[in-house]
Amino acid sequence: MAVGPLVVHVARLRRSLGTTERIKTSVALDAERLAPATPADSRVPEGAEADCDFVLESYSGGIMVTGVLRVPWSGQCRRCTAPVEGTLVISMKERYCDPPGRGEPEDEEAFPIVDEAIDLGPMVHEAILTELPLAPLCAEDCRGLCPYCGIDRNEQTCACVAPRDPRWASLDVLRSTS
C-alpha cells in the first residue's frame, strides 16, 4: 500500500457511485520532482506547499478528481531578468482508474487506483510542471535590457541606437559635412 501525504483511500467512495469526498489540505512538495532544467527556469520556491482543494467523486470507471491547486512560483523576467513571482492557480480535472486487466478498458490518461487507494501526489506534481510559466514577464510592457549597453530600460535610458544599415553610411557622411 502506497503511503504519502496525498494518498486517499477510495473503497468507501466506490461502494456507491456518485459519492463525493472533499480533500482540502496543504502539502509539502517534492523539490526533486520539480527541479528546474536550467537555473533560469521558473520554479516552485524551496519548501513551498501546494494548497489543494479537490472533490473526489466515484463513477463507474473509477474516481474523478476536480478542484483547484494553488502553488507559489518564482522565476525571472524573460526581458529584463528581474525576479518575478506569483501564484499558480490550476484547475484540475483528472481520472483515476483501475489498472488494465480488471475488466475496464485501459485509459492511458488516467492515474492508477492501487489497492483501493489513489495517490494525488503525481497528479499535483505533473500539473505544476505543466503550468509553470516558461517565459514570464515582470510586466506586460517590460522594456527589457538594452542589447548594446545592458542597462535596464525600465529604470534608465541610454543613448544607444541600433547600428545603421551600412548602405546608408555614405548619406551620413554627406549630412555631417554639409
Q: Which residues bind Zn ion (CB under 5 A)?
A: 77, 79-80, 82, 138, 142, 146, 148-149, 158, 160
CB of 41 to Zn ion, least distance (A): 16
Q: For residues 61 and 133, which CB has a smaller minimum distance to Zn ion in the complex?
A: 133
Answer yes or no: are the C-beta atoms of 14 and 8 closer than 8 Å. no
Tell me how far CA of residue 30 lies from CA of 44, 47, 80, 121, 171, in angstroms.
10, 9, 30, 9, 62
Q: How far is the CB of 84 from Zn ion (least distance, A)?
A: 7
Distance (Å, rounded) from C-alpha 79 to C-alpha 94? 35
Nearer to Zn ion, 55 or 145 (CB): 145
Nearer to Zn ion, 77 or 127 (CB): 77
Quick one: 43 or 79, whose CB is closer to Zn ion? 79
Report whether 73 contacts 29 (CB < 8 A): no
The C-alpha cell that represents 71 in the structure block? 502553488
Shortest spacing between CB 37 and Zn ion, in angstroms: 21
How far is CA 128 from each of CA 64, 79, 80, 118, 146, rounded to the nearest angstrom?
19, 23, 24, 18, 33
Residue 129 CA to residue 88 CA, distance in Å, equals 11
How near is the Cβ of 139 to Zn ion at its closest, in Å?
Answer: 6
Task: State which residue, 23 or 146, has the beta carbon closest to Zn ion.
Answer: 146
Q: Which is nearer to Zn ion, 50 or 138 (CB)?
A: 138
Closest approach, Cβ 152 to Zn ion, in A, equals: 8
Q: What is the DSSP string of 59-120?
A: ETTEEEEEEEEEEEEEEE-TTT--EEEEEEEEEEEEEEEPPTTSSSPP-TTSEEPBTTEEEH
Shortest distance in whole angstroms from residue 73 CB to Zn ion = 16
